[in-house]
Structure 1
């Protein structure tokens, strides 16, 4: 209620309510009235007020709003504004304000902030609260030390006080009593000489450090002691020892000993004072060393508290002090193979699970580095581990603090950089799609500092530095003008095409291998309309399928244009944006066309990064980003030109030709940046000349070519240690010059200078070691120039070079050493695999190999295959032009024993150690061509027998793609289907050759004239698989599944297929004993497929002997082999699924054929899993009545089916049931097997 809320119960309250005419008095509450009476009074008042609204109480509670305090500065500003409004008012001088008044107001402000409102005390009296200097009181006489005032317990002992009769002095009883004690004390004091006290207690204090105060305190103590007797001193000493804290006493004694005798060491135990048991009943304080370690931050505080006897600090509350403890340096030990969450430093380096303790680091100079790592522990989870997890970095990347975002994005960029180098493969799995979206959102920030780190991280993700660096290095070699297209490859489609089991896989899913290890590399669900599928995908789904398409969907081209044209960051963001554009251009022709179609972006690129050199300074120590030629911009244009002829034409219309002439004609001294610009210009000129876009381009650059070539002739150093960038520039120059059409007009002066340069550089190569890749690249470019000159009939300028300098180099020790490294530097002989599809939605070229000792570049420094390939091409050209004399000199020099030994060893290793997967790598294309040239060298093949040549040719065929169809046809004719190597008639071999050639020719690449380009797919699939002789068996199996009766080929029937396949496989394996076409289990499966033709040709008299011969050969070859029925090959159906179809077909069409039955019995041998026998004797029990064959057709005879004796009871029951129900014929193999095991089981049971 109103009154109860005010708390008025015991007071008498009188309300006077005034009316216009009379005074009304309401009865006041009485002491005996209750709350209900008070409520009744309230209602009466409210009723009266309802009648007269103007009726008001004499007193009421009103909440007074506190006046808002204003600071001194606000009040001054208001005063100034009021003065400005009244312009006519008289302005008081500024110095009229008293300084003391201002000080008081400021002090009032400070006081208000600390203790509250200033209005509690007037500001004028505020100075009264300021304390003056505190002066310590000095006593003329020592203070009384009444032992009754010292207690041994917390509370004083109750004693009866004997009051002294007060004197007539006007003092109080307490003062009189105190004065009496002083008189009594002075009467008992016996004087002690000062010299004795100084000798006993020293001349100065050992506790107080201040010299002046120490002297006064020490003098006062001596005066006090001089007035005390010896008994009193000992009594006071005993009382002091009993009452003082032992810890403090120990501290004081230790301090005294250290000051008096510094060298001496007094143990802590000797400083303890034994207390009187009667007077020390209290327990000793807790020793902090029992609870806290000295390394704990609270240890020192607790010690101080005990020494000074702080209140309530005698108990250590460890739970409240945990936050002060040091981070535990010891972490749990991980078990081998146990996973843990990855943590990274700010550079993206993966940190180990635990680090060595800092105390174990003995080197003092490492302290600084240890302290620098403190920022790696600023996280809550796992405080003992340094570094940050990806989740923590993601959280920091979204922080409101810009420096935290920069650090997080920088760490993520470092992680991606190391990841693309292959160091994290097999160690951790990165969520690439999530990282991509985080970086793409961060790219929308226009802050230059944030934009720099985010764009760099995006460039690390998409622009593979290893790939791009290696592609730039090999570009200046002959035949390396092709650029890889990095499209997302559907590898499953190629496998289906090779094994022709697409229909089988679609209709019978149970036959498809579920390869968990390669699930990320192969897709089996492939929609017909891929574009519609991509459109219906969400952003994250598209990122998990094709990351480049997802990047393009985020309007990355418009964002990059805005950054380059509007934001204009003067930092590495420009470089990162250009790298992202380069990776987009490499993807495919469609994306490259979208880049060129963005007119604003292209004009921005030409305006800011391809300016005219006449208006800029090129020799800057640190080149600027804008209005300065950027070699990455020229590289972007080169990639775009390589994608399509139409794109190249559009770029030429943007005045690209004028920029190239301007940069290549620049003759002043240039720095590294301009050298890179000229290298990229020369590469673009090479591409334009190969595409035959502008016939006048070459003539416009004649003088520039001559000047640059003249400079290299005079100043280029070929030896190791000289700048490799200059050798790279010279190689690019030679390749650009030799890209002119052979029908062009001869330039005699330029040809002579070319010959001079080639002679000089080969002369230096003869007398120096060739160990660097740029050196072999320059030699390859020289050989290509000579080949180009021979095609133009300019051999007269290079005759001396061929017969003298080139021949001397081939005979030199430098070339022998270079060739001796052919095996160790070979790409296709490596046992490792590349990381092209380490993340399928974002493929790379495959420049990094996953070696057991760590990631390695696929092409080492000593790689000489480019040079050898160009050398063989020169010799082939001389042979075609009938220049036998010059060619004989080169062949004789090349066929020296040491060189031949190296080449023979290289070819021998290819027969067994050829890596078919690496043969499809983009960087291995040139070595695949080189092997073909060696196979055509008759002088080398003389060192091999026919079996070795056949095996080498067969292995080499299985790695050739669509661009090597001519090589495949040549090898078919010369080696594979040649009577020199196979014991078959010419008629049959020619027929077989035509069949397989027609199969290969379906892969011919046909390019329209409008789609001419200098790009190829980065992944080349082999046309012929390892088991290509069995190809038509696969088609026959497909016809069986489809229930189709059509012929396998137009001219081949099922009988022809069986005859050709069985004879070809037999001849190939007999001609080369080391040639293994397929594994033994796969060969068994193909033998089963021979009986599954739709026409049942295995029953014909012409094919039956051939099948018997083949099976007997197969059984004899793998007599002691254990087939792997549970292991399936990639791209092939499992044995279990094929066996089910095979047994069903046996019941339907075998007519009890013993050859057919022998294959059915293979998995039923006792050494294999009992599941095969259980399935046959239960699920396929009806087929047992037809199953029988001669014991000679069984692998290892019938004993393999009898021993060891069957022990599984379920099988014994199946055997007994089949015997009792006559499901097996008496005398058949199943009958003998069942009877033997049942009888043996009965004999064993009877025992």
Structure 2
């Protein structure tokens, strides 16, 4: 018996075994392990063997040769094969089934010849179909049985396929590629007969008519359908024989990889490598990289670290060799997103891990904004970090709601893909993600990393709509399990070796509690009572074990933020009184051990900041805490800030929280920080250093492009890749915005004009205010993190108001007017303060300058009446802008819906007119109109616009002339009769005079806010004039602006071809026209269709004489006729010249 090789045998032993094997084989001592015999022994087998005819033998020989040609290598001809025994196929018969060529049954039309008799038409038709099918089966098919075999003659198949394709191409003209019904042949023959009866000119004319009347997309679809039908079904994949033949042409010199392998010294001892076959090594040939055009893109491929790879690399080495694979583009390294998603579903766990890790790395890089404008992945995690950091500065107390919609149910009529395209979070909830997380937490009990990921997902879900929030609270066992394992009481905290992270408090869980509780006071109260959270979290502050490391200190920071929220709701007051000694102990510890310096760690600064903010909230709720220790602490930390040699945003947390806490004491009790300390701070060198680059941290002044996600998943847009630190400027390393907000909040609580003037007159602050005043536009208005700067701007305006005439009030007026559009819904009360004390306060108006620059003729009763009604104007705007209603009650909620956005638009002075038009569009015929209220709103709006355009010309220029024209024109569409009143008419004439002065800047083709197409808006104006104007000259003059010749001809063609009713009632003469009448006539129109409309209107007498429209039509028609006459005369002369030349040649 032969010995089988083992892994421990060396090469000599294997050669010896081989030699012994050949020796015994030559002696015929080796017997096979199994023998194949013919089971069909008998007469039938013998007879079948003898009855084979010669044609079958020849066919089999052909098949065998082709099979040999299609194998990877030739089969040796000297092989000793036993006779092949035929398989008994008597049991492998299967009926021939008839399938439709399209895969689905064809639609059957009802036979119109069937008449209703005893049965219904439908039943008769079904019986006829069944009868026809039976007859067809019995006469044509006879249910022939045949064995289920596999075709092996590939060459014959190709011949048949090509013949079918050739036949199909020949019969294309005889069949229709458009008709698909059963009677398509009859209809197609009728069309062919009609075409035969027509001439080629008639066919082309009919074709042009059909093409012009049909949708271009439909025409393209029909052409592509015909092209697809004309394509052959030839198999484009080369056969193995073709591949082998191609490989035979490759020389060994073309293969670099085998050369490198065979160049190794040990290769000389390898077995059977004395002869090389290039055809077998052809698969190792380098793949040629296709040239990439600069104008074309390519599919993104990534390495395992998530970085985007170039289209190709110059050299393959060990660093990128593992990135090549047999995919769609084997010449390119890396994996596409589709390939990674496919690999993540692999059954091989290693492949799945690689794919998921790579996808995670890609998402991690994308959240920083590195792939902005490259790929679009709707994931944001950096937002949470930034919003937590803002909380330590006292700014991020209010939490954002990131809901795409506020629908309180899941629309089951929408499938998963459609829902994912519109609302990704709701689609995630549909996958039972909450139940899955509950199962992971309760049953799998994963490691800490997975637990934190689950809590991050729940936190993001908690920031979504009320529908998702209710799903979280209603998920049975989810919330209780989280509280049990990750907010354990003092008696249940334990260490389990099998699950070391269970029954251990996690700061992420306390944060999740805070986010959920911020939605409403009711939710916070229910959670507090059901799980007795207050006693549990306060224990974490008592236990010194949690203050010994960074993780424990972060837990205590989250606990203090959560406690602060409960105090705001009035739910933590008892705990403050009970645990005053705890707060005193923590404050005393920081007073003795924490310095306000750059050497203090950020987590320690966050811990102290959270404690001071907690104390300040308790002081606001009338808890007078530590009146002796607090002043000493504040003086120490403020003095230490003044001695710093450099400024960093993150290290100003202590200073900011000290200033906010001092402001709380100043408002509710006596001052704990003297004015001198703040004056010394403002005059210190560190303050100059901190505010030197104040504009660099401004979101309003810098057009930084933040990383935006898709519409189906909202984010806070904290990432900005093309900025320093790759985040929004307000939280960058050198930003002083949070610190200045806290400082101005504290300054406002002091009755010291000297302190306020010192701050406002500081050179760096003056530079920032000047930039705010002169900015044409404010950027990033809707960004969540811009709120910090808007709070600062509001504080600056309040400080300027409090110091009276000590500062130039007009310097801040521009900021107040433009700043109204940047404040969010939570600042409505502050916006009313601005309207009362700045915007509509005459003390801030540059009246003296206006009187010097205004001519005596401009002083009239309209302007005087507007001045005398400022209080009424203010009331109207406060109501129309919604500042007096729908105010958010932060006593019961600490969440703000991001979809609300900014309250006031940039062109807020025209908002009453726009709302009048919008309400008119929505109003039904049954609704009644309060015309007196509308008149009061419109009148005061026009009065304010008149004041604004007269005295605040610079501010007025921030709104384009075209948008002013559109907003004012809304008055004519918002009411059928208000524009006819004398007071309104007089104001409109005055206001349109300002537009007339700047009419050269009108551009109706530009993008207009709120309009998708100005032509549609102009058509509405024409229809309204035609219906209710009664030939009003003010309305008519408004219509003339787009008719000036420098504007697009489509507006003139619309008037003269479609709205002759406007022309017939138009009564404006040259003397009545506001604009230069020559701009309406010249240059002469050359559009023939428009000139024909002019001529038709004149001939029909539709244009009233002595009107400007009559002059326009008359001059243009006359000029058009003169040009036509000249063209005819010129043509006649040319014809005569040609005739004379011909006669002379003859």
Same fold (TM over 0.5): yes
Residues 878 and 884 in structure 2, CA contact (< 8 A), matched pair in contact too: no
Q: Using the alignment, how far apart are the partners of 2:520 and 2:350 within structure 1?
A: 44
Deviation at 1:1019, TM superposition (A): 4.5
Are residue 477 (structure 1) and residue 436 (structure 2) matched?
A: no
Aligned position for 1:66: none
Residues 1154 and 1188 in structure 1, CA contact (< 8 A), matched pair in contact too: yes
Aligned position for 1:149: none
Deviation at 1:392, TM superposition (A): 0.7
Q: Secondary structure at the match of 2:896?
A: strand
Are residue 965 (structure 1) and residue 965 (structure 2) matched?
A: no
Q: Secondary structure at the match of 1:1016?
A: strand
Aligned position for 1:657: 534
Q: Using the alignment, how far apart are the partners of 1:774 and 1:1196 within structure 2?
A: 59
Are residue 1080 (structure 1) and residue 961 (structure 2) matched?
A: yes
Q: Secondary structure at the match of 1:955?
A: helix
Deviation at 1:568, TM superposition (A): 1.6
Residues 593 and 647 in structure 1, CA contact (< 8 A), matched pair in contact too: no
Q: Deviations over 1:206-233 (max 9, x none)?
A: xxxxxxxxxxxxxxxxxxxxxxxxxxxx
Q: Using the alignment, how far apart are the partners of 2:550 and 2:606 within structure 1?
A: 12
Aligned position for 1:716: 594
Given candidates 978, 983, 1003, the residue that maps to 1:1124 is 1003
Are residue 802 (structure 1) and residue 682 (structure 2) matched?
A: no
Are residue 417 (structure 1) and residue 364 (structure 2) matched?
A: yes
Q: Using the alignment, how far apart are the partners of 2:579 and 2:554 within structure 1?
A: 18
For structure 1, which segment, 1231-1240 or 1187-1196, has the greater mean C-alpha deviation from structure 2 after superposition?
1187-1196
- Shift in CA distance, 1127/944, structure 1 to aligned 2, threshold 3 Å: farther
- Shift in CA distance, 488/1187, structure 1 to aligned 2, threshold 3 Å: same
- Shift in CA distance, 1058/634, structure 1 to aligned 2, threshold 3 Å: closer
- Shift in CA distance, 911/380, structure 1 to aligned 2, threshold 3 Å: same
Alignment RMSD (CA, Å) = 4.3
Q: Deviations over 1:312-366 (max 9, x none)?
A: 9999977x754221244x5523324x322111111222222233445xxxxxxxx
Aligned position for 1:454: none
Aligned position for 2:313: 355
The correspondence of residues 974-1053 of structure 1 with structure 2, limited to 5 A, is 974-980=837-843, 981=845, 984-985=864-865, 987-1001=868-882, 1004-1005=885-886, 1012-1038=892-918, 1051-1053=932-934
Q: Using the alignment, how far apart are the partners of 1:937 and 1:573 within structure 2?
A: 50
Aligned position for 1:295: 256
Aligned position for 2:453: 576
Are residue 1110 (structure 1) and residue 1071 (structure 2) matched?
A: no
Deviation at 1:1234, TM superposition (A): 3.1
Residues 831 and 883 in structure 2, CA contact (< 8 A), matched pair in contact too: no
Q: Using the alignment, how far apart are the partners of 2:797 and 2:601 within structure 1?
A: 38
- Shift in CA distance, 355/933, structure 1 to aligned 2, threshold 3 Å: same
Residues 1215 and 1235 in structure 1, CA contact (< 8 A), matched pair in contact too: yes
Q: Deviations over 1:1190-1234 (max 9, x none)?
A: 335557623323433333333333333333443334443333333
Are residue 1222 (structure 1) and residue 1101 (structure 2) matched?
A: yes
Residues 409 and 467 in structure 2, CA contact (< 8 A), matched pair in contact too: no
Deviation at 1:467, TM superposition (A): 1.0
Deviation at 1:781, TM superposition (A): 1.1
Given candidates 741, 750, 759, the residue that maps to 1:869 is 741
Given candidates 683, 686, 708, the residue that maps to 2:564 is 686
Given candidates 467, 471, 482, the residue that maps to 1:605 is 482
The correspondence of residues 832-1231 of structure 1 with structure 2, limited to 5 A, is 832-835=704-707, 838-849=709-720, 851=722, 855-859=726-730, 860-879=732-751, 887=752, 890-891=755-756, 893-895=758-760, 897=761, 899=762, 901-913=763-775, 918-938=780-800, 948-980=811-843, 981=845, 984-985=864-865, 987-1001=868-882, 1004-1005=885-886, 1012-1038=892-918, 1051-1054=932-935, 1056-1076=936-956, 1078-1092=959-973, 1094-1118=975-999, 1120-1121=1000-1001, 1123-1132=1002-1011, 1134-1191=1013-1070, 1194=1073, 1197-1231=1076-1110
Q: Using the alignment, how far apart are the partners of 1:467 and 1:631 within structure 2?
A: 17
Equivalences, count = 874
Given candidates 812, 816, 832, the residue that maps to 2:688 is 816
- Shift in CA distance, 1124/889, structure 1 to aligned 2, threshold 3 Å: closer
Deviation at 1:763, TM superposition (A): 1.6
- Shift in CA distance, 919/619, structure 1 to aligned 2, threshold 3 Å: farther
Q: Using the alignment, how far apart are the partners of 2:782 and 2:720 within structure 1?
A: 14
Deviation at 1:731, TM superposition (A): 0.7
Q: Using the alignment, how far apart are the partners of 1:111 and 1:1008 within structure 2?
A: 94
Residues 1032 and 1048 in structure 1, CA contact (< 8 A), matched pair in contact too: no
Q: Using the alignment, how far apart are the partners of 1:1057 and 1:784 within structure 2?
A: 41
Q: Secondary structure at the match of 2:964?
A: helix
Deviation at 1:1157, TM superposition (A): 2.9
Q: Using the alignment, how far apart are the partners of 1:537 and 1:1152 within structure 2?
A: 52
Q: Using the alignment, how far apart are the partners of 1:737 and 1:465 within structure 2?
A: 30
Q: Using the alignment, how far apart are the partners of 1:315 and 1:1222 within structure 2?
A: 99
Deviation at 1:631, TM superposition (A): 1.7
Q: Secondary structure at the match of 1:1124?
A: coil
Greater gyration radius? 1
Aligned position for 2:50: none
Q: Using the alignment, how far apart are the partners of 1:964 and 1:474 within structure 2?
A: 18
Are residue 546 (structure 1) and residue 423 (structure 2) matched?
A: yes
Residues 823 and 903 in structure 2, CA contact (< 8 A), matched pair in contact too: yes
The correspondence of residues 10-21 of structure 1 with structure 2, limited to 5 A, is none
Q: Using the alignment, how far apart are the partners of 2:308 and 2:562 within structure 1?
A: 40
Aligned position for 1:500: none
Deviation at 1:777, TM superposition (A): 1.7
Q: Secondary structure at the match of 2:652?
A: helix
Aligned position for 1:667: 544
Residues 383 and 717 in structure 2, CA contact (< 8 A), matched pair in contact too: yes
Q: Deviations over 1:129-158 (max 9, x none)?
A: xxxxxxxxxxxxxxxxxxxxxxxxxxxxxx
Q: Deviations over 1:83-108 (max 9, x none)?
A: xxxxxxxxxxxxxxxxxxxx9xx999
Aligned position for 2:573: 695
Aligned position for 1:335: 294
- Shift in CA distance, 1059/758, structure 1 to aligned 2, threshold 3 Å: closer
- Shift in CA distance, 1174/415, structure 1 to aligned 2, threshold 3 Å: same
Give unpaired runs (5+ residues) of structure 1.
1-68, 73-102, 124-286, 359-369, 433-460, 491-529, 880-886
Residues 445 and 499 in structure 2, CA contact (< 8 A), matched pair in contact too: no
- Shift in CA distance, 1059/663, structure 1 to aligned 2, threshold 3 Å: closer
Give unpaired runs (5+ residues) of structure 2.
5-12, 34-247, 848-862, 1131-1146
Q: TM-score w.r.t. structure 1 length?
A: 0.63
The correspondence of residues 32-111 of structure 1 with structure 2, limited to 5 A, is none
Given candidates 386, 391, 403, the residue that maps to 2:333 is 386
Q: Deviations over 1:1089-1118 (max 9, x none)?
A: 344464435445544443333333321222
Q: Using the alignment, how far apart are the partners of 2:942 and 2:574 within structure 1?
A: 61
Residues 255 and 286 in structure 2, CA contact (< 8 A), matched pair in contact too: no
Deviation at 1:916, TM superposition (A): 5.4
Residues 1127 and 1134 in structure 1, CA contact (< 8 A), matched pair in contact too: no
Deviation at 1:573, TM superposition (A): 1.1
Q: Using the alignment, how far apart are the partners of 2:300 and 2:833 within structure 1?
A: 54
Q: Secondary structure at the match of 1:387?
A: coil
For structure 1, which segment, 786-795 or 1065-1074, has the greater mean C-alpha deviation from structure 2 after superposition?
786-795
Q: Using the alignment, how far apart are the partners of 1:606 and 1:1094 within structure 2?
A: 60
Q: Secondary structure at the match of 1:1161?
A: helix
Q: Deviations over 1:224-255 (max 9, x none)?
A: xxxxxxxxxxxxxxxxxxxxxxxxxxxxxxxx
Q: Using the alignment, how far apart are the partners of 2:1041 and 2:750 within structure 1?
A: 59
The correspondence of residues 16-415 of structure 1 with structure 2, limited to 5 A, is 120-121=30-31, 292-293=253-254, 295=256, 297=258, 322-328=282-288, 330-336=289-295, 338-357=296-315, 370-415=317-362
- Shift in CA distance, 1057/471, structure 1 to aligned 2, threshold 3 Å: closer
Deviation at 1:720, TM superposition (A): 2.0
Q: Using the alignment, how far apart are the partners of 2:916 and 2:27 within structure 1?
A: 102
Residues 689 and 740 in structure 1, CA contact (< 8 A), matched pair in contact too: yes
Q: Using the alignment, how far apart are the partners of 1:1026 and 1:623 within structure 2?
A: 57
Q: Using the alignment, how far apart are the partners of 2:869 and 2:757 within structure 1?
A: 39
Aligned position for 2:186: none
